[in-house]
Amino acid sequence: MRFDVVTLFPELFAPFLAHGITRRAFESHRVDVRLWQPRDFAEGNYRRVDDRPFGGGPGMVMMAEPLWRCLQAIRADRAEADDARAPVVLFSPIGDRLDHASVVRWSASSGAILICGRYEGVDQRFIDACVDQQISLGDFVLSGGEVAAMALLDAVARLQPGVLGDEGSHQQDSFNDAIDGLLDSPHYTRPEVWAGPGGPVAVPAVLLGGHHERIARHRREASLTLSACHRPELLTQARQKGWLDDQDEAFLQQNRTL
């Protein structure tokens, strides 16, 4: 798959693409990321890509023309690879919320063209004419779309075969609809007893016993507890989709305070 990223700050992506476990996906081009600087498509000595908003107001707005020229160059480059019709995605507060289900869909796609806005935003005329989909990370504002683009790329990359050290790792992630859509259970590692700031804290004994069924049940109940306390709507969804069995319901009934 191929993602073309339109950004005024391509240098932000260099360490992201070169480090961490997901670099395997980027280095192998299993997730092929190409960076495009819209200033390269702007006119004038200063390669200006932004201007003041009509009607007044604070800040600057990214101009439609440099973005359009950049998009045309990407389309031409993709046409050589018979992949000219990739969707154009803008990261924006009005976009659909990025969640696990949408990441799974993107991970099975052929990629997209990602527009990273800056300043007060992008000229609406470019959005109306060229953008196919808008994506939001949540109800907060970032300085630009680069962090959001990296979040999408990271989430997609880790779902590619061979990227994670353990192929089953992502299957246990929180929000995984292929399992149950609930929050993942807590995790522990050495030492067995940690001399923390509040005094010694031991790993739950059941995790040290080697009884796989008991361990699985402990983790299931911990997942149910976390979901009930922090994201109760996930339990509602799991019930509606038939992902909770009688043993799950009995546990929740016994712990009505959850």
Active site residue 93: yes
Catalytic residue among 65, 120, 177, 221: 120
Dihedral-angle region of residue 55 (phi above 0 means left; psi in -120 to 50 means alpha; beta otherwise): left
Active site residue 173: yes
Residue 32 CA to residue 36 CA, distance in Å, equals 13
Q: How far is CA 214 from CA 33, 201, 223, in A?
A: 43, 21, 14
Dihedral-angle region of residue 191 (phi above 0 means left; psi in -120 to 50 means alpha; beta otherwise): beta
φ/ψ of residue 99, rounded to 5: -135, 180
Strands 193-196 and 111-115 come out as unpaired
Catalytic residue among 15, 93, 191, 204: 93
Active site residue 52: no
Active site residue 120: yes
> Which DSSP string do the residues of 201-215 spell out, in sequence order?
EEPPGGGGS--HHHH
Catalytic residue among 4, 158, 219, 248: 158
Active site amino acids? 93, 120, 158, 173
